[in-house]
Chain A
Amino acid sequence: MKGTIFNIKRYSIHDGPGIRTTVFLKGCPLNCVWCHNPEGIESGASFFYDAKKCLNCMSCVRSCPQGCISISAGTIIIELDKCTHCDACVKACPSNALTKNGVCYSSDELFEMIKKDSPFFDESGGGVTFSGGEPMLQFDFLHEILLKCKEHGINTALDTSGYASVEKFDKTKRLVDVFLYDIKFAGEADHIQYTGVSNKLIIKNLEFLLSKEVIVWIRIPLIPGINDTRENINGTIHILKDVGFSGRVHLLAYHDFSTVKMQKMIEKVNRRAKGTINKNNSQLELDTIKEIFQSQGFEVKVGG
């Protein structure tokens, strides 16, 4: 079976133990306002267009057998409804101004990619991390590739929003060496407002995983002015204690990666307008939050 992957990053050193290869699976049920991988939200394959690289050579227009591409005044229009994803345009583009967002891999093909860095995994205790998007959204594919990795003794991590059915967690719990589990808000109303979904299922799944004695690292993206309030931090600690979590907490500083990417994305659906988050976390703020978690007995790390 095939999966849609929007990125594969090797020498990934902030997504779990050791040196890792992170595979980004396309599609996400959440729609967080700060999302730093907005290209991974929509499920199907689409395109990136970088006007700065475009030579206006019309190679893409000429190459399209469907005739669904036009370029005018520095912008490209692709009629996605007509597009058959034959990739002729992408192959023809001499400057890589037009590239694919989402490539189909069979689990064998993907495994070959993952395996390439196995000498580094062996040396460092690293492995593969599946991220996204929400990898659980392509569950059958994920399950197949996890199984293949396990059969070959490759360490696996799953970077998840926690928003998937409990059955999916049940089926993957023995195939994943470490869950990198996002907790974004303590309050349900905030969670719905900023991510588009409730956090009830997320907390339930966390409780489920903890009851199954799997390794979980909690990851909290700290979005300045949105979820880094004292109230939310205390609420998060409360939830973690409530579900009986006592392990490692990673605080992830916010960086604006999305603005540039958003400008280049060509998609069927226009993403909803993002709240502008144009400030970074202060070091002082990060240190303070770190101390709060530490004082509650958690092992804390700033960064992945």
Chain B
Amino acid sequence: MMNVRIKKLREKSYNAKPHISSERASLVTAFYRENQGKYSTPVLRALNFKNLCEKQTIYIGEDELIVGERGPYPKYVPTFPELTCHSLEDLEVLDQRPMTSYKVSEHDMTIYEEEIIPFWTGRSIRDRIVPNMTTEWNLLYEAGVFTEFMEQRAPGHTTLDGKIYAMGMRDFKKQILEAKDKLDFLTNERAFDKLQELDAMMISCEAIEIFANRHASLAEEMVEGEKNPQRVHDLKEIARVCRKVPGNKPETLHEAIQMYWLIHLGTVMELNGWDAMNPGHLDQHLYPFYKKDVEGGSLDREQAKELLECLWVKFNNQTAPPKVGVTALESGTYNDFTNINIGGLKRDGSDGVNELSYLLLEVIDEIHLLQPGCNIQVSHKTPDAFVKEACKLIRKGYGYPSVFNTDETVMEMVRVGKRIEDAREGGCSGCIETGSFGKEAYILTGYLNVPKILELTLNNGIDPLSGKRISIQTGQASEFKSFECLVKAFKKQLEYIVDVKVKGNNYIERIYAKQMPAPFLSVLISDCIENGRDYYNGGPRYNTNYIQCCGIGTITDSLSALKKHVFKEKQLELTRLIDILNKNFEGEEITRRFLMNKTPFYGNDDDEADDIMRAIFELLFQTIDGKNNTKGTTYHMNMLSTTCHVYFGKKLGATPNGRLAHTPESDGTSPSHGADTNGPTAVIKSLSKMDQVKTGGTLLNQRFLPSVIDGEEAIEKLTQLIKTYFKLGGHHIQFNVVDSKTLKDAQRHPEEYKDLLVRVAGYSDYFIDLDQYHQEEIIARTVQEEF
């Protein structure tokens, strides 16, 4: 049960309306006007961060124990004009749009019009990226063949390891000084660059201490007017803690949580990297403090839970910075995708589950707000009891926790050369992305619309939706004499498109490395200090670029239809079928039904379809994996769509599997909607034929009727289902436990379903906050019914 304080904090956070705050934009603009050109870029960025830490409005709310906000108030969202400068029209759209709107005040509009837009036009990163991309890139981008992650937000997907609980900023500063001492200006031509970066890191450490001390001072001021003795006590404790961390390492649970939160805020104030920031293995990090406090008698379990719940509310207060245009279509959500790992393994390979892991499940159950997302990490050493507890939570239908296979993610990381200990200390962040926590920049670069590449292959490089040539010529359909000929042409298209995408990424990557370093984030990620290099410039121990492949279900089923009906049984001429597709099956419902009902589809444990999936997966892997980035390392692939399968579907004509034009593609690595008709074990068997260890993550959505997992025994069977999938090499599985009737009713009466959380992609969202397309998409997912 939540106590009164938590109930009030939760309620307040739930009810707070997202606003745009122009404060950060205004401070940044004034700072750049004054200082641009005076310093090297890293130092300029660090001083900009320091300026924010010194001047941003700070907030300590009633009842709070853990303090600090990214903006001036809860859910007041700062903007980042140095990356993307919203236009006045953008702001109006954000204010007026019916779904996921952000209030924009008159005052903020004026500031944008007078100060911010005039300065940043032509100077923002986005303004420097878009006009510089090649024609080839623009043609493919506009047609929805791929997306670009970094045109509006900074590269991110960053997760911390345990070092901030063992080191304060003082210790980091000492490390930075040592690195500076080692600089060799006689023989190393990079020494100057390194010095600038290290100076910038030093400034950032000081900046976050200033930010913390301002909170301490504010708490002390608030003590003056406070009459409630309990609150006086709380405020004094807040002040004491904020004077201590993050300058010094934490020693109590309260200090450790506040330490994390200040660091978290620092990284998301500095830049708006994708997926906010993630604490990593929070249960493992906090457990020693919990144990010490409880054993020492200074804290009991309920008090510990209260502190954790205060942190949970803080996450929920941080609404995602608003996107516009294509990126808004990719993910229109208030969720900023923090994803907390629970369970898993320790560095030494022993089981990571502890008392706090169970306590966190309780916290999640009680708070169940939009944010933070969470997942459980299940290894071969994880106790069944823990998985069962998590399954009970899954049954409640919040859409979280999602479930990851630690053994598989460790293998994924070892495959690409990470140390075994670093791999175990890693896990998943964002939706399903694998990374070594605290030691890696694993940058998502954008989604790839794989079914669209088949469409381009069938149309010889012309986008049938626009009639424009957007890709290379790989042969007329009439020339494809066999299925193999078709696949060969597809391979050429794929290779060309991936090359264009990677060239674009590499260009953008250099812009970030040169123009938008993140010195504060660099302090926190291992080896940036030792290397004297920025997080965005190859500083971390590991540097990975991911391309996320969408629509494996749709393309597999489409190729399966072509293989069977066109090439094997010759029931349909290829050119005639392409004609039918380009007319969106108009007047051809019988053909459409035939394709839908008489084709082996992925997701049914049918090798005829699953072998095609494997072949395409292998082609994607051969094409993407190992491509060079600009940091001396390489690209890998993810099988993830987030909500991009809906956007990509809109950009895709009808497909040979009977899918109509503009409707969603299959999501993640899940089967096409309704294509899987043999239950969850068959889906899992199909998925397990994908060599998932070659990816940086796959995503499997399963929707269950609540009645299917009713009762103790059903929970046990759900646990067994998950564990079998993991034994077979599955990376991830997540569940929606809700019936279609409820969802349809929620569409009709949204006011009655304000807190209905559903699993969307690698995160949960309020169903009523989703636009109609995404709502329909979730309803269309196959329901695993009672047998």
Contact = CB atoms under 8 A, between A and B. Distances in A.
A94 B679 contact: no
B597 A10 contact: no
Contact of B605 (A13, A94, A116): A116
Nearest to A59: B590
Contacts of A94: 590-591, 593-594, 597-598
Given A10-B679, A11-B679, A116-B682, A124 B593 contact: no
B714 A13 contact: yes
B681 interface: yes
A303 B713 CA distance: 11
A123 B723 contact: yes
B161 to A, nearest CB: 32
B754 interface: no
A22 B678 CA distance: 12
Contacts of B716: 124
Interface in B729-787: 784, 786-787
Contacts, number: 70
B143 to A, nearest CB: 32
Contacts of A123: 720, 723-724, 727
B590 A117 contact: no
A13 B717 contact: yes
Interface in B685-721: 685, 708, 711, 713-714, 716-717, 720-721
Given A9-B787, A13-B714, A95-B597, 10 more contacts: A11-B784, A13-B708, A13-B717, A19-B720, A22-B787, A94-B593, A117-B681, A119-B724, A123-B727, A303-B711
A96 B597 contact: yes
Nearest to B714: A13
B589 interface: yes
Interface residues of A, number: 25
B430 interface: no
B598 A91 contact: yes
Given A94-B597, A124-B720, A19 B681 contact: yes
Nearest to A55: B590
Contact of B717 (A18, A57, A91): A18
B724 A11 contact: no
Contacts of A12: 787
B452 to A, nearest CB: 27
B133 interface: no
Interface string A20-38: 0010000000000000000
A120 B721 contact: yes
9 contacts: A10-B679, A10-B681, A11-B787, A19-B717, A55-B589, A94-B591, A116-B682, A119-B724, A124-B716
Given A18-B717, A94-B594, A123-B720, A13 B787 contact: yes
Nearest to A122: B724
A213 to B, nearest CB: 25
A14 interface: yes
A120 B724 contact: yes
Nearest to B589: A55
Contact of B679 (A9, A57, A91): A9
A193 B545 CA distance: 72
Given A96-B597, A123-B727, A117 B720 contact: no
A119 B728 contact: yes
B680 interface: yes
B591 to A, nearest CB: 7
Contacts of A9: 679, 787
A11 B716 CA distance: 13
A52 to B, nearest CB: 13
Contacts of B598: 91, 94
Contacts of A95: 593, 597
Contacts of B724: 19, 119-120, 122-124
Given A14-B787, A19-B720, A117 B685 contact: yes
A22 B720 CA distance: 18
Contacts of B591: 94
